[in-house]
Structure 1
């Protein structure tokens, strides 16, 4: 099923789709980097201002309360560079992730069309399957970069890792190859329903919004925002568990939050520990900033993707004409 000539699954070659996805991820990541750092700090925080914790429990770690106070705290104690901690692995992550995601999404759709026919599956089901497969493939392929991004964003002025190369060497030496994949289980468990719901909602809303006068003259930006908010809220606890597991290991007590618990029993064990120690709301720490981040990130990603793809396809057509 195609929505005229600008449908993201049918337009452009594989190389053009990959390049457009990488461009979208690069720009989106840089814009929302400060909010991403705040989200990670809040997700790793196991206490709030209302908790009766002593200085010994905090071990000198900060207490963050809300998005803006956390931003101010980071600026005051770590400066502007503190808001872009982990940006190098994060940029690599977003570029590679977006490229793999969009390319796999397009390829999966074409395989479904070839195996079942283009009109066999409902649009929502087709988008869910393609989105889930694309998200899972991108998550698995880029997961070490995601773990590195989290660890850099979690460290304060007392640096655990001084550079990306040294971080890779240290993790490999102290934790082995498996250390780069801590939390992959909840990561995959989260991304499959997240991307499936995201693309299903996006593809459902986009054709209806494309003819309206919207910000940036793009129905894709608004559709991407709505899709991201719905998908993020439903899968947020798994994202939080992934972050908590990513900072396990020999460096667990050296990050800005020095009282991160040690979790056993994988994803299920971590969820049980959080529920027991922090209650149900403990699974949603950082949700507000996550939603604030998700809206502009998805809008910028989809808006940039559509225009980058249009640019690359136009460039390809001009080259063919010149030949």
Structure 2
């Protein structure tokens, strides 16, 4: 695969904008997915939505949203910049990147975004959602929740679940970027040689990339959510202990809890993020030819 080179600052801006829009549009699916993954009685997506609307209203479906919008914006910016960096570091003398090297570049991008953006925002978001379903919520919003978590648990409190987040994000980006890049290259090389892809096709390719990503990384997402819940320190010694308890006490199917809402979100996410990113890059002239 051969790529045009994105300018770093333009790539950061386009990625951050795409990430913020995607997070806000798809947040209710993320809320339902996260709620369904907590321990205790299993709840279906429809029941969670009905109960939340009944007790909290539409606003309840956006509990923890601000944490994800900020984190997703930063995450997407870091993801595209770091992927572009790793991609070009791994390119051969002709500027081409093979599928295995694209997979490695995606893995590196995922690990980078997990450390600098995803873990803190995901931990805060998860705790805010978990807290919102309590009889007497203790957090009043993003800022108050973040300060309270740091005060109670220190900086490590917002980095809880770092290992499963790194594993999930590494796998997410590796699978998503490789699937997207491979399909994009195939379509451009067969159906539309030398022509830019229209937004509808870009959205479709991004959606397929999201679909593949969900089913391959779902167990890591469930472990991540459990490790970031309010009672994680009491329940689990580490990620491996968490995985062991889920498997032995709840069965292997529990690792795919929340698949439907996550599938909805990542298919939409893949389409929205790649479409917005490609169009912003095109508008601001952020791509250089190698």
Report if TM-score (shorter chain) is over 0.5: yes
2:111 pairs with one of 120, 136, 140:
136
**Structure 1 length normalisation: TM-score?**
0.80
Alpha-carbon distance change, 31 to 120 in structure 1, aligned in 2, over 3 angstroms:
closer
Aligned counterpart, 1:297? 269
1:159 pairs with one of 127, 134, 137:
137
Q: Give, in angstroms, the shift of residue 216 of structure 1.
A: 6.5
Q: Is the 8 A contact 1:189 1:238 kept in 2?
A: yes
2:210 counterpart of 1:218: no
Deviating more after overlay: 171-180 vs 150-159 = 150-159
| 1:269-308 equivalence runs, <5 A | 269-308=241-280
Partner-residue secondary structure (3-state), 2:139: coil
Q: What's the CA shift string for 1:270-305, capped at 9, x where partnerless?
A: 011111221111111111111121111111111111
Q: Which has the larger radius of gyration?
A: 1
Alpha-carbon distance change, 165 to 217 in structure 1, aligned in 2, over 3 angstroms:
closer
Alpha-carbon distance change, 16 to 72 in structure 1, aligned in 2, over 3 angstroms:
same
**Structure 2 length normalisation: TM-score?**
0.89
Q: Is the 8 A contact 2:36 2:258 kept in 1?
A: yes
Q: What's the CA shift string for 1:46-92, capped at 9, x where partnerless?
A: 323xxxxxxxxxxxxxxx22x23321221111101011111111110
Q: Give, in angstroms, the shift of residue 219 of structure 1.
A: 2.5
For residues 280 and 83 of structure 2, the distance between their equivalents in structure 1, rounded to whole angstroms, comes to 17
Deviating more after overlay: 89-98 vs 170-179 = 170-179
Alpha-carbon distance change, 121 to 29 in structure 1, aligned in 2, over 3 angstroms:
closer
Aligned counterpart, 2:125? 149
Q: Is the 8 A contact 2:39 2:226 kept in 1?
A: no
Partner-residue secondary structure (3-state), 2:40: coil
Q: Give, in angstroms, the shift of residue 126 of structure 1.
A: 2.3
Q: CA RMSD in A?
A: 2.3
Gaps of 5+ in 1: 49-63, 253-259, 318-323
Q: Give, in angstroms, the shift of residue 121 of structure 1.
A: 5.0
Aligned counterpart, 2:24? 30
| 1:54-93 equivalence runs, <5 A | 64-65=43-44, 67-93=45-71
Q: Is the 8 A contact 2:199 2:275 kept in 1?
A: no
Please list every run of at least 4 consecutive aligned residues from structure 1 whose deviation after the TM superposition is greater than 3 angstroms.
118-121, 209-212, 215-218
Aligned counterpart, 1:257? none
Q: What's the CA shift string for 1:4-49, capped at 9, x where partnerless?
A: xxx5xx243111111110111011111101111001000114323x
Q: What's the CA shift string for 1:73-127, capped at 9, x where partnerless?
A: 21111101011111111110111000000000111112223xx4345752x1121
For residues 105 and 149 of structure 2, the distance between their equivalents in structure 1, rounded to whole angstroms, comes to 33
Q: What's the CA shift string for 1:201-250, capped at 9, x where partnerless?
A: 111111333547xx9643321121112211221111111111111114xx
Aligned counterpart, 1:241? 223
For residues 27 and 198 of structure 2, the distance between their equivalents in structure 1, rounded to whole angstroms, comes to 22
Number of aligned residues: 279
Partner-residue secondary structure (3-state), 1:30: helix
Alpha-carbon distance change, 32 to 168 in structure 1, aligned in 2, over 3 angstroms:
same
Gaps of 5+ in 2: none
For residues 267 and 18 of structure 2, the distance between their equivalents in structure 1, rounded to whole angstroms, comes to 14
2:41 pairs with one of 47, 56, 66:
47
